[in-house]
Amino acid sequence: MERLGRKHMPWRLSVVLSCIMLFGIGFVGDNLWRSSTPMSSLHPFFELPTAIQSAVGLGKKSKIKNKLDHMAPPKYLNATFADLEAPHLEWEEMPSAPALRLDGAAVQIKNLLYVFAGYGTIDYVHSHVDIFNFTDNKWCDRFDMPKEMANSHLGMAADGRYVYAVTGQHGPQCRVPTARCFVLDTETKKWHDLPSLPAPRYAPATQLWRGRLHVMGGSKENRYTPGLDHWSLAVKDGKPLEQEWQTEISIPRGGPHRSCVVAKDQLFIIGGQEGDFMAKPGSPIFKCSRRREVVYGDVYMLDDGKKWKELPPMPKPNSHIEFSWVVVNDSIIVIGGTTQKYPMTKKMILVGEVFQFHLNTLKWSVIGRMPFRMKTTLAGFWNGWLYFTSGQRDRGPHDPSPGKVVGSVWRTKLRL
């Protein structure tokens, strides 16, 4: 970027050209990634990378930079965007994960949290599993995933021993999805094939319910268009009981990044969004570029497996919560996520609340706040403690837009 200092060009023209350029790339990858690839997280009006600032003769403390600081989201955001009132929770930090992860997947089996895949950086994806032991609060094991298995945006569910991992994105940036599905036997750490989904999806709602593995919604092959399809496969002890996925009643609203939870023998779908980043047309590396997204707080229950029943929505629209929930004592607890983009800045707004959905009354409440706002959090619950790890955190208490990808682990004692 140093070469941007165009010696033969008038300074003003150079600044104008640079701004036009920034405007162009600003729409690429905004907010998807911040920690290791600053170039892909530019927003035209908010961040000039230091290299470009110096190239156009601006220091870090320049007037433009100061002006940009003032344009950061204000501390007061209206109710759709503001943090909700929440009781205080004490959090305790645990040993960090061996790898940073965004858009990973997780399941809890007894006292172990299995954490799969995810972006390490926007250009590097993981193809392994890390395991956290809730008994001694240590990361205790690591093993590889099949190379053909998706590296992010997976659907995943577990039954106490077997982990079913379906479809998702294969490779970094905004690459194409795979329809391949796998099952892991956590006792032997062996992987086996499952029949491929009829069509690949990004981040579909996935859960085991009454002996069948259900896969619903997600984004279609272009990563953007919401899929409404709903398929299921009979499975038992890690084996498919059918050759093919069956078509089930489609869901009222498609799209990726929802919580999908079975509790009290009912299947719930919570939150999510329509639309997502897409590969830039013609980009050989499938470079992620931002598209319009609409976030929802809708809750649906698969009543009797035959029709969808709409239940009271979350206290705010919330997405990127596919593995950010636990079931405790007749409640679903959902932590973190992302809500609607802030209309003034078009920036993604992260969520820091801990929500409780009371299964007996079907009411929502806010029971606390995380140590920071965070999306694609991987959650677990053990012995009274609510845990979370991994994902992308905010940029600070007064800036709810996406900041660093972190691997830290936190826990709080839950009293419902």
State the residues that interact with ligand NAG by CB under 6 A. 78-80, 112, 133, 135-136, 140, 328-329, 343, 384, 414-416
Shortest reach from residue 175's CB to ligand NAG, in Å: 33
Shortest reach from residue 133's CB to ligand NAG, in Å: 4
In this structure, what token pair is assigned to residue 105? Answer: 């997947």
Shortest reach from residue 186's CB to ligand NAG, in Å: 10
Shortest reach from residue 383's CB to ligand NAG, in Å: 10
What are the backbone angles phi and psi of residue 299, rounded to the nearest 5°? -125, 130
CA atoms within 13 Å, Cβ hemisphere of 119: 24
Cα gap 389→205, rounded to integer Å: 20
Cα gap 178→197, rounded to integer Å: 9
CB nearer to ligand NAG: give 232 or 319. 319
Residues 6+ apart with CB under 8 A from 54: 2
In this structure, what token pair is assigned to residue 298? Answer: 């809708």
Q: What is the dihedral of CA 166, 171, 174, 176, to 10 degrees?
A: -60
CB nearer to ligand NAG: give 113 or 122. 113
Neighbours of 89 (CB within 10 A): 17
In this structure, what token pair is assigned to residue 252? Answer: 């009222």
CB nearer to ligand NAG: give 240 or 352. 352
CB nearer to ligand NAG: give 84 or 228. 84
Helix, strand, coil % over all residues of the chain, rounded to 5: 10, 45, 45
CB nearer to ligand NAG: give 78 or 188. 78
Shortest reach from residue 213's CB to ligand NAG, in Å: 25
CB nearer to ligand NAG: give 112 or 251. 112
Cα gap 231→307, rounded to integer Å: 14
Shortest reach from residue 86's CB to ligand NAG, in Å: 17
Residues 6+ apart with CB under 8 A from 361: none
Shortest reach from residue 85's CB to ligand NAG, in Å: 14
Cα gap 337→324, rounded to integer Å: 8
**Strands, E, within 202-251: which ranges?**
205-209, 212-216, 230-236, 239-240, 246-247
Beta bridge partners of 185: 162, 190
CB nearer to ligand NAG: give 188 or 329. 329
Q: Cβ(394)–Cβ(372) under 8 Å? A: yes
Q: Is 340 helix (H, G, I), strand (E, B) or coil?
A: strand
CB nearer to ligand NAG: give 160 or 384. 384
Shortest reach from residue 342's CB to ligand NAG, in Å: 9
Closest C-alpha among 269, 181, 170 to residue 228:
269
In this structure, what token pair is assigned to residue 28? Answer: 């690429």
For residue 350, the Cα-to-chain-centroid distance in whole angstroms is 11
Residue with tokens 């795979």: 178
Shortest reach from residue 318's CB to ligand NAG, in Å: 15
In this structure, what token pair is assigned to residue 26? Answer: 């600003």
Shortest reach from residue 226's CB to ligand NAG, in Å: 21
Shortest reach from residue 79's CB to ligand NAG, in Å: 4
Geometric angle at alpha carbon 210, from 208 and 214, rounded to 5°: 40
CB nearer to ligand NAG: give 66 or 80. 80
In this structure, what token pair is assigned to residue 391? Answer: 């994902």
CB nearer to ligand NAG: give 3 or 76. 76
CB nearer to ligand NAG: give 25 or 77. 77
